[in-house]
Amino acid sequence: MVAEKKEIVKVSSATVRFAGDSGDGMQLTGMRFTDTAAMVGNDIATLPDYPAEIRAPAGTVAGVSGFQVNFSDSEIYTPGDAVDALIAMNPAAFKANLVDVRAGGIVVVNESEFTKVNLRKAGYGEAYNPLDDEQIGTRYKLYKIPLTRLVNEELSETGLGAKVVERNKNMYALGLVYYLYDRPLDVTIKHLTEVFAKQKGNELADASVRALKAGYHYGETAEIFPVRYQVDRAPIEPGTYRRITGNEALAMGLVAAAHQAEKQLCYCTYPITPASDILHYLASMRHFGVKTFQAEDEIAAICAAIGVAYAGQLGVTGTSGPGLALKSEGMGLAVITELPVVIVNVQRGGPSTGLPTKTEQSDLLQAMFGRNGDCPVVIVAPRSPADCFEVAMEAVRLTFEMMMPVLILSDGYIANGAEPWLLPEVDSLPSIDVQHADPDKPFEPYARNEKLVRPWAVPGTPGHEHRVGGLEKQHISGNVCYDPSNHQLMTDIRLGKLERLAERLPEVQVEGEPSGDVLVLGWGGTYGAITTAARRLREKGHKVSAAHLRHLNPFPRNLGQILKSFKHVLIPELNMGQMRLLVRARYLVDARGLNKVQGQPFLVEEVEQAVQLMLDGTWGDRLHMEPHGHQVRPADQDLDQRLSSQPA
């Protein structure tokens, strides 16, 4: 009997989340779905979500791993707010993620795993099974599918062990979702047969392909879905695209910058989540002349990078929040020696070890001031995964131009998220001019050009011998000098380099009218939520504009003028108001904050609600507000009230 052809409903976009135990392969499943969406021609944005523990107890909420992908027929900037379809592989995944599914959304559960033992592990009561809850069945389109049993039946004759067979339930689920959203199988099959087979062997790859097809055909023949959904191609600029994460783009940008500068890249680091992938990517690029050095600690890593810079090459070090604190003394050494070093900080939840796998933007003030003395560094921040490529190149250009450290502030959301990236033509990459001290002219190690930049001498150049170290330098000669007036002069020079750089940086661009009721100012990974929210509000007739900062130190020269052109300024940040503090102090504007430190990026609706409060005049005199339960409400801002409502 041939199954009746299902109705296909076209939708402009869809947000799908795969969730399960950290051993269920949710990240692999999400990446395969993302690659397929990209090959179909959709615009995509992803949000991987990892458990903080290396191996939390199986079946618990703490061990849930998720991967969210938003795919669309038009340009998008975020991985989506409400989830349209949740695939939950066990009760813990169901419990942790159901709240994010929109009313009427699709929820596919692996019914095989909803046993009494697993329900208990997930924290459900002894006599309660959420799959039997009428309220849940009414609110969502709930599909109970015994994925574990079905994949065992499908692969029962392969001769593979029971554990190996069950690991393919993610591919069965993926095939089912491919059917639901009218996606082709060939992209994933090609990956499994060409890449996965080399890693795990043909037998396992064949089993995965078989499970994938079985899941697709189950959706086709079981007739459980009344409709299927289709998202058309997005109109995109012609060219060659690939899916890229922020960490991948940073690695590629550093390699490209080294090539453009005709310098050898040496990446010196100590492994730390979520920056470690940069080391992994660069370690595989030896054929491009890249050298990687895994140091014994963070201090050794930055000192090695300074040594690379002193030797006349491109020294880069990478870390995350706690590691940046350990690098602070080394950064001060790079500042006083005036050597070109790039520091990558992929921010995560803090303080201390904090939330290692969750995103945050709470290192801005540490980046600005977290060193002894007046110790300025250039700071830049990417706004999206693909933007990391350009920001890496910009950081290298600036460190060579300014002869001072440049700090890149990425974050976990950008680092692990992915989007389509248009591969640039090599000939179109910007040139990076590197100037070394002229060997034919008298050499003064701390003489200055019009940018207040000292010359960069390569060791071994006759006549260019000079002293470097952490003690204050004498102007021009570079000798150790304790004279008070010289110290004042050298401090003024180091700060003056940034002031002169500000005059050469690109001006901030405003999206929307150059003046109006509300300016939403952002930096880093808040770009997508801010841009989308401001556009929605403008479509409703509101005078709301957006601006986003790439250069955080120094600020662009026109920022103050822009801020004073609006009645209200809102600064959404994944911290408790660090950029707000800087803007209020520098420009004396009454900027207010939307602040969130919940390990997740902003939803578009959260930014939109905050702006609406300003437009309605109901914000009040609060310096900042926080979203709670995806809602921004004045009534939720009282700490004492929230403490009293928390269970003991």
pLDDT tens-digit map of 461-477: 999 998 899 999 999 99
Burial class (CB in 10 A: 0-12, 13-18, 19+), 259: middle
Residue 644: pLDDT over 90: no
* In a domain? residue 352: yes
5, pLDDT greater than 80: no
Query: Strand 592-595 relative to strand 566-573: parallel, antiparallel, unpaired?
Result: parallel
* Domain end point (choices 425, 454, 471): 425
- Residue 252 and residue 164 in one domain: no
79 touches 47 (CB < 8 A): yes
At 103-154, the pLDDT tens digits run 999 999 999 999 999 999 999 998 899 999 999 999 999 999 999 999 999 9
CA dist 609 to 99, 103, 529, 627, 630, Å?
19, 19, 12, 9, 10
- Same domain for 394 and 286, yes or no, is yes
**Domain closes at, from 470, 504, 538:** 504
* Pair 441, 408 in one domain: no
Pair 442, 568 in one domain: no
Give me the pLDDT at residue 1, please.
Answer: 42
> Mean pLDDT across the stretch 267-276?
97
Question: Residue 2 falls within a domain, yes or no?
Answer: no
Same domain assignment for residues 86 and 206: yes
Task: Kindly state whether residue 1 falls inside one of the protein's structural domains.
Answer: no
Please say whether the beta carbons of 4 and 381 come within 8 A: no
Residue 307 shares a structural domain with residue 374? yes
- Least confident span in 44-58, 259-273, 562-576, 588-602: 44-58
Compute the average pLDDT of residues 38-49.
95
Q: Are residues 395 and 481 in the same domain?
A: no
In a domain, residue 56? The reply is yes
Q: Work out how many domains the chain is built from and give that number.
A: 4
pTM check: above 0.85: yes
CATH code (residue 582): 3.40.50.920
Same domain, 419 and 439: no
Q: What is the pLDDT of residue 588?
A: 98
Whole-angstrom distance, CA of residue 547 vs CA of residue 44: 23
Share of the chain above pLDDT 70, in %: 99
Check: CB of residue 253 under 8 Å from CB of residue 220: no
pLDDT band at 646 (very low <50, low <70, confident <90, very high): confident
Mean pLDDT of 373-401: 98
Q: In the chain, pLDDT over 90 holds for what percent of residues?
A: 91
Is residue 139 situated within a structural domain? yes
CATH code: domain of residue 274: 3.40.50.970
Q: Is the pLDDT confidence value at 648 over 60?
A: no
Q: Are residues 421 and 533 in the same domain?
A: no
Question: Is residue 398's pLDDT more than 90?
Answer: yes
Rounded distance, CA 303 to CA 315, Å?
10
Can you give the CATH number for the domain in which 195 is found? Answer: 3.40.920.10
Strand-pair partners of 20: 65
Per-residue pLDDT of 427-459, as tens digits, reads 999 999 999 999 888 999 999 999 999 999 999
**What integer best gives the mean pLDDT of the chain?**
95
HEC states along 23-35? CCCHHHHHHHHHH
How many residues belong to the chain? 648
Tokens standing for residue 469:
């170290």
Across residues 212-234, what is the average pLDDT? Answer: 95
Q: What residue type is assigned to position 451 of the chain?
A: K
Q: State the helix-helix crossing angle for 169-180 and 26-40, rounded to 10 degrees.
A: 30
Q: Is residue 627 part of a domain?
A: yes
Same domain, yes or no: 269 and 223: no
In 82-155, where do the E strands start and end? 83-88, 101-110, 141-145
Average pLDDT over residues 4-10: 81
Q: Are residues 78 and 206 in the same domain?
A: yes
Residues 45 and 154 in one domain: yes
Domain contains 430: no
What is the β-pairing status of strands 406-411 and 378-380?
Answer: parallel
Query: Over the stretch 294-322, which tens digit does the pLDDT of each residue have?
Result: 999 999 999 999 999 999 999 999 999 99
Q: Look at residues 250, 271, 352, 370 and name the one whose alpha carbon lies nearest to residue 319.
A: 271
pLDDT of residue 514: 97
In what helix (H) or strand (E) does residue 414 lie, and over which residues does it extend? helix 412-416
Asked whether residue 235 is assigned to any structural domain, the reply reads no
Give the mean model confidence (pLDDT) for residues 210-231.
95
The closest alpha carbon to 297, from 334, 330, 278, 270, belongs to: 270
Domain enclosing residue 201, as ranges: 7-230
Domain boundary among 230, 252, 272: 230
Q: How far is the first Cα of the chain from the last one, in angstroms, to the nearest whole number?
A: 59
Q: How many Cβ atoms are within 10 Å of 521's Cβ, its own excluded? A: 27
DSSP string, 500-556: HHHTTSPPPPEES-SSEEEEEEEEGGGHHHHHHHHHHHHHTT--EEEEEESEEESPP
